[in-house]
Structure 1
Amino acid sequence: MDIGAAAWLVILLALVLANLPFFNERFLALVPFAFSSADGAGRPPAKPFLVRLLELTVLYFVVGGIGRALEGRIGTVFPQTWEFYAITACMFLVLAFPGFVVRYLRKRH
């Protein structure tokens, strides 16, 4: 895989995984979230916001690990400082904004 394809793969993967916590009610899209019971209408329980943030943090490190592995396959893995992680964490939050808007800010009719 060349450098350009690996970079686009990481960006698209980050976009998908950043929005994943907001579009499903399962933890990491695998484990059913059953810490509370279903409501009277029979809908599954909604994940609390803090669980979504925890899931977002875990997925940030998953994308970072995949990016680091792809960088290692291409060539030398460059050492990173705290600035790199601060910028990529902010970018991951920006990529998660569409899912946040759909989940919490969109008016339901």
Structure 2
Amino acid sequence: MTSLNASVWLVLVLALVAANLPFVNERLFGVIPLGPARKLLAVRLGELVVLFFLAGGVGLLFERRLGQIYPQGWEFYAVSACLFLVLAFPGFTWRYLLKHRN
């Protein structure tokens, strides 16, 4: 049972980090420098979509490792996407809603 709990917490922490990664740096996926230009919101949202699928893939790997993968309907993926967007809110707030001193 501890392996299950650890897997759930690891996926949740990974999703939290992945959801905020596009908003806390100016590099593509936190690794690839884009030069002197700032990242556009569209690029950040594209990163968010890719990182959503990566975090979901890690969750799927954990589920496969622990047993049989349960088939999910569209409702599961809609709720997962909404949860991922909620997890991204702190990074979005920090990037776009707070005033930063230069």
> Which TM-score band applies after superposition, normalised by the shorter structure?
over 0.9
Pick the aligned partner of 1:56 from 48, 63, 66: 48
Aligned length: 100
* TM-score (normalizing by structure 2): 0.94
> Is 2:19 the counterpart of 1:27?
no
Structure 1, gaps ≥5 residues long: 35-43
Q: Equivalent residue for 1:90?
A: 82
* Cα RMSD after superposing both structures: 1.0
CA drift of 1:60 comes to: 0.1
Matched letter for residue 66 of structure 2: I
Q: For residues 62 and 53 of structure 1, what CA distance do their matches in structure 2 show?
A: 14
Q: For residues 26 and 74 of structure 1, what CA distance do their matches in structure 2 show?
A: 34
Q: For residues 45 and 98 of structure 1, what CA distance do their matches in structure 2 show?
A: 23
Q: For residues 60 and 50 of structure 2, what CA distance do their matches in structure 1 show?
A: 15
Matched letter for residue 26 of structure 1: R
The structure 1 segments of at least 4 consecutive aligned residues displaced by more than 3 Å after TM superposition are: none
Alpha-carbon displacement from aligned partner over 1:89-108 (angstroms, at most 9, x marks no partner): 00000000000000000012
* TM-score (normalizing by structure 1): 0.88
Q: Equivalent residue for 1:101?
A: 93
Specify the structure having the higher radius of gyration (Cα).
Answer: 1
Structure number with the higher helix fraction is 2
